[in-house]
Amino acid sequence: TNLQEKDTILGSDAKLHKAISKIVEEVNPKVVFIVGTPVVAINNDDVNSVIFELEDEFNIKIIYIYTDGFKTKSPLSGIDIAAHGILRNIVERPEDGEKSDFLNIITFSETKKSIEGITKLLDKLNIEYNLLPRFGSVEGLKNAGRAKASVVLSEDEGTYFAQELEENFGVQFIETESPIGLMGTTSFLRRVAEIFGKEAEAEKIISENEAEIQKLVTDQVLSGKKVFLDGNLSDLPRLATLTGRLGGEVA
């Protein structure tokens, strides 16, 4: 919105209106997010009036993420504030109250590569999944309240989202270890399989993977290598342990 010093004093509603109108005309989005700042919170810009006017004009969802610096409990990332905006404005409550046989996988900062290992295992178990909010879709977010259960890939990032889905939409939150290393992945797979009645299939997959993992450990595939770890704080101890088991040294 290109706020200048003058705008922070006199207000910047007109610039916000212009910016959103331009976005809608250029890319035709299904949802527009407005990320505020402490400056906007202090000068009391009437963002909601702009939203009401433009939602009616363009017939799309416009969601304000309140980032005034005081509400979030995750000040380094603000993930809880972003999640709150999504849950409140996009996720729909099933009118019939019925649940469908699929799993919400809640992911915020994971890469497609890191998620791929889990989705391949779920494909083998024939468990349908809904990635959200990252790598998801608006339709997927709308349907999140219809899922049978939710699971998080990072405890630090996804727990709030999963808890709110459980408390407000009745979607069971499967609490499990992060799927890192043999023990973590095995625990993760067993808990998910138990909810979906796929225990026998899961044990077969675990047995097949154990032999493959053991070969990597025996071969010490990271022997003589220093490894730089980049991850969430809750995941680093498991990543460090796995690195050591494979013969590497954490740098």
Highest mean pLDDT of the ranges 76-90, 109-123, 138-152: 138-152
104 has a pLDDT exceeding 90: yes
| Percent with pLDDT over 70 in the chain | 94
pLDDT digits (tens, 9 = 90+) for 209-239: 887 777 777 888 899 999 999 877 878 888 8
Residue 74 pLDDT level (bands cut at 50, 70, 90): low
Measured distance CA(229)–CA(99) in Å, rounded: 39
Lowest mean pLDDT among 18-22, 39-43, 53-57: 39-43
Token duo for residue 243? 């690195």
What is the average per-residue pLDDT within 103-127?
A: 92
> Looking at this protein, which amino acid is placed at residue 32?
V
Measured distance CA(202)–CA(191) in Å, rounded: 10
Q: What is the pLDDT of residue 73?
A: 59
Measured distance CA(196)–CA(151) in Å, rounded: 13
What is the chain's Cα-based Rg? 22
Q: What is the pLDDT of residue 185?
A: 87
Q: What is the pLDDT of residue 214?
A: 79
Q: What is the pLDDT of residue 69?
A: 58
The sheet with strand 172-173 has its strands ordered as: 128-133, 100-107, 147-152, 172-173
245 has a pLDDT exceeding 70: yes
